[in-house]
Structure 1
Amino acid sequence: MQQKYTKPLYLQMKEYLLEQIQKMDPGSNQLEPENLLSRKLGMSRETVRKAMSILIREGVITRWHGKGNFGHPAVSNLTMRVDINSDFRRILRNAGYKVKTIRSETTLKHPSKQ
């Protein structure tokens, strides 16, 4: 029997938030409060927080204490993010580049004692 794979709820919430952020009009980038999102979408507040935490780490959302959460559409539309992905070769391959690694060697020579 095959089981249908479904994404965890926090990843579904992350995708939903990304879609909302990408649709934002300039100047209106405040997200709905976490408690409203959880009620509106029928998910726990912890699920909403987990998704937002990932997007905060990625720089897509900024959380301002006392003001709310703000989305950054320009950041969410970037295709190559070196700051959050350490495998630079994979980033380039995913962007369609042909990657070739050439070994270079560095040596350290001490100055002569003359």
Structure 2
Amino acid sequence: MRNNKYNASKRECLQGHVHDSKREAFRCNELHRMLENGEITDLKIQPRFLLIEPWRYLWRYERAVEYVADFSYRKDGILTVEDVKSEATKKDDLYIVKRKLFEERYCRDDKVIFFENAR
């Protein structure tokens, strides 16, 4: 079954999570092996990060803007936020804007890094 404009098929990883692509499911399996081996900690699947707070302007209410990454985990005490992307999805305008907003808000110090996993 095709699930998006990039013709990727939904896939299930060995842990039973449904992912947007075969590549993402494979990466989930890799990360779970790393978690079991003690290489990473605090693995989260599709974590949400607030980019812009909700606010009201006169008569109009604007909802919050969030970024949903594919994975987040800690390695050597540093939070890594990871997205598995193909060449096509890396060029998506909305993705680029949200990635830049995420990096502006969260990657200002050495405590959080963003990793775009494109194979």
Whether TM-score is above 0.5 comes out as no
Return the structure number with greater relative CO, CA threshold 8 A, min gap 6.
Answer: 1
Q: For the superposition of Structure 1 and Structure 2, which TM-score range results when normalised by the shorter chain?
A: under 0.3
Query: Greater strand share, 1 or 2?
Result: 2
The TM-score, its normalising length taken from structure 2, stands at: 0.27
Query: Greater helix share, 1 or 2?
Result: 1
Q: Which has the larger radius of gyration?
A: 1
The TM-score, its normalising length taken from structure 1, stands at: 0.28
